[in-house]
């Protein structure tokens, strides 16, 4: 299995709508989370690149999908949450539609990293996303972030509750405790990502024919 070097992630492009995305080829893994769950910090920790997450920070402004290249075939996709107070209801609805469409139609999308604050897991935002992912039979790996904020016992308790909730779902859903600040759980996260990035590349056959 190829181990991906996540420190090699480089900014590729932003897209405000799906039509602006690059060709639906290779493998994408998307990261999403309600604002303030720590998605930027997770990206920072994974790539060891603070500039990357800064690119991704667009609070209250136009919602953009940010794409980062890991190699020629593999991309990490930063999907903004829509929890920003300053965004109007109409914009939020628009954004939800784009997000749902991306999750259901993007063929090269192999998995979704869903970042939650371990102190407030499974919010309405998270449940919506899990629902869409289940509808598209898309695999989801949940990061229960900010685990450093809880005692070991409370962390285990939340893990158990979330594990129970996701056991009911028909798609492949896994979860782990994580701390973007302390770096706890990075190895497990990379193992999940590596597994997804080592699946067959979408469009490889057509590419080889060209």
Full DSSP string of 44-71: HHHHT-HHHHHHH--TTS---EEEEESS
Q: Supply the DSSP symbol for 2.
A: P
Q: Most distant CA pair in the chain: distance in Å?
A: 56
- 14: number of CA atoms within 13 Å, CB side? 12
186 binds ligand GDP (CB under 6 A): no
Residues 75, 110, 141, 146: which binds ligand GDP (CB under 6 A)? 146
Per-residue contact track with ligand GDP, 10 to 39, x per CB under 6 A? -----------------------x-xxxxx
**Which region among 1-9, 91-99, 129-137, 140-148 touches ligand GDP (by CB under 6 A)?**
140-148
143 binds ligand GDP (CB under 6 A): no
Strands 109-117 and 139-145: parallel
181 binds ligand GDP (CB under 6 A): yes
Q: How many other CB atoms sit within 10 Å of the CB of residue 163?
A: 13
Full DSSP string of 101-151: HHHHH-TTEEEEEEEEETTS-S-HHHHHHHHHHHHTT-EEEEEEE-GGGS-
Which C-beta is closer to ligand GDP: that of 108 or that of 180?
180
41 binds ligand GDP (CB under 6 A): yes
Q: How many residues contact ligand GDP, by CB under 6 A?
A: 15
CB of 44 to ligand GDP, least distance (A): 7
Residues 72-111 that bind ligand GDP (CB under 6 A): none
Interface with ligand GDP (CB under 6 A):
33, 35-41, 145-146, 148-149, 179-181
């Amino acid at each position: 299995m190829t181990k991906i070097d996540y420190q090699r992630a480089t900014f590729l492009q932003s897209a405000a709508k799906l039509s602006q995305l690059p060709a639906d080829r290779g493998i994408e893994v998307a990261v999403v989370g309600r604002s303030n769950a720590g998605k930027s910090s997770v990206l920072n920790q994974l790539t060891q690149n603070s500039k990357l997450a800064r690119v991704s920070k667009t609070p209250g402004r136009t919602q953009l999908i940010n794409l980062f290249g890991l190699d020629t075939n593999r991309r990490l996709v930063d999907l903004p949450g829509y929890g920003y107070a300053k965004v109007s209801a109409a914009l939020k609805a628009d954004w939800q539609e784009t997000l749902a469409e991306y999750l259901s139609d993007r063929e090269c999308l192999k998995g979704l990293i869903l970042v939650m604050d371990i102190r407030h897991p499974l919010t309405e935002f998270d449940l919506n996303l899990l629902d869409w992912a289940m509808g598209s039979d898309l695999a989801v790996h949940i990061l229960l972030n900010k685990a450093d904020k809880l005692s070991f016992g409370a962390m285990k308790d939340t893990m158990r509750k979330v594990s129970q909730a996701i056991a009911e779902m028909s798609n492949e859903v896994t979860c782990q405790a994580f701390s973007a600040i302390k770096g706890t759980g990075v190895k497990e996260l990379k193992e999940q990502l590596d597994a997804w990035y080592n699946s067959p590349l979408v469009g490889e056959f057509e590419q080889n024919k060209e």
